[in-house]
Amino acid sequence: MSRNKFNDLNCSLSDSLNLIGEWWTILILRESFFGTRRFEDFQQQLGIARNILTARLSTLCESGILERVPVKQGAKRHEYQLTTMGRDLLTIVIALTQWGDRWLRKDQGVPVTFIERNNGEEIPKVCVRAKDGRELKTRDIAMLPGSGASEDTRNRLKQIAEKWEKRMQQESNS
Amino acid sequence: MSRNKFNDLNCSLSDSLNLIGEWWTILILRESFFGTRRFEDFQQQLGIARNILTARLSTLCESGILERVPVKQGAKRHEYQLTTMGRDLLTIVIALTQWGDRWLRKDQGVPVTFIERNNGEEIPKVCVRAKDGRELKTRDIAMLPGSGASEDTRNRLKQIAEKWEKRMQQESNS
């Protein structure tokens, strides 16, 4: 798997996968959201090899998702805490879990239910919403080149838009 | 990377990663959301080796995320379309892209902007929301064992809750 390939794609999805698109990484993040902070606890909870855990934690710190913080002021031992950038991955961890609950756990039941701490209400399905809160589906969403779009991306988006028009015409004719 | 390890975790996040936690897989899904359906088009757009593409498409069909559909009625050639289960991954594709836009593209600008097709309004940040639409953060969310929780999961959730209580007490004391 060549990482350079992905860096060429001018795509924030590939960039994100470059950082967190690895199984252990996202399960380490899950542990962080569970409140795990110490190396030994990550190791015990995940049953991950120490050298792999060390490497993944380093990468997560270098990329700014986790930070190493002394256990107490002036202490030599440290622990790993989510940064703002890391906490912002909550959406993805919850959305992936909910998707698994819906599609892969139909028969066995859901292992974990997410509730709002204050009132005990179940957390609704995370989904793409319009400003007014309507749930949006694939067909409701279009794409425009952003300020960082490369020439290739612009051409690609044009192609996608033309293909869409064509498909809509075919559908309305049939 | 042992898949069996993950199957033991009684966790829908690991189950989801088992299926889509692989770079090419999620980029194939991105292409599907872009409207790509034919093998040759996936191949050309992603520059992926044909044998890898064949394997990934097979897995995606077997797991029910894509389906093979004849190009026309009775045709021998077929194409790959997202199922309902597959389209339900839109949230994750958009949320991962937006996260990359926010945290990895600060200087270069965003390659692609998602807008609502009907009115051109930018799609808001996908996030975890309460029923009334409030954005929820990590601290607002608690976990309960669901109907499919194993004994291990129940014990773990109890530990997490106790750790949380302890941390809150420490914070209120300091």
A52 and A115 housed in the same domain: no
Q: Is B87 exposed, middle or buried (0-12, 13-18, 19+ CB in 10 A)?
A: middle
A2, A3, A16, A25, best to mutate vs chain B, most B CBs in 10 Å: A16
The pLDDT tens digits for A33-47 are 999 999 999 999 998
CB < 8 Å to A9, chain B: 27
Domain end, chosen from A88, A106, A131, is at A88
Q: pLDDT at residue B161 above 50?
A: yes
A13 and A73 housed in the same domain: yes
Going along A51-130, which residue ranges are E strands? 66-70, 78-82, 112-116
CA A19, CA A3: separation in Å to the nearest integer?
A: 10
- Please report whether residue B11 resides in a domain: yes
A66 and A134 housed in the same domain: no
A160 and A127 housed in the same domain: no
Q: How many domains is chain B partitioned into structurally?
A: 2
Q: Do the Cβ atoms of A113 and B145 come within 8 Å?
A: yes
A136 and A167 housed in the same domain: no
B16 and B84 housed in the same domain: yes
Rounded to the nearest angstrom, the minimum Cα separation between B161 and chain A is 9
A135 and A162 housed in the same domain: no
Look up the domain containing A94 and give its range: 90-141
A96 and A152 housed in the same domain: no
Distance between first and last Cα of chain A? 42
pLDDT of residue A8: 59
Q: pLDDT at residue B5 above 50?
A: no
A23 and A77 housed in the same domain: yes
The pLDDT tens digits for A68-92 are 999 888 889 999 999 999 999 999 9
pLDDT of residue B8: 59
A134 and A168 housed in the same domain: no
Residue A115: how many CB atoms within 10 A of its CB?
A: 16
Q: Do the Cβ atoms of A111 and B149 come within 8 Å?
A: yes
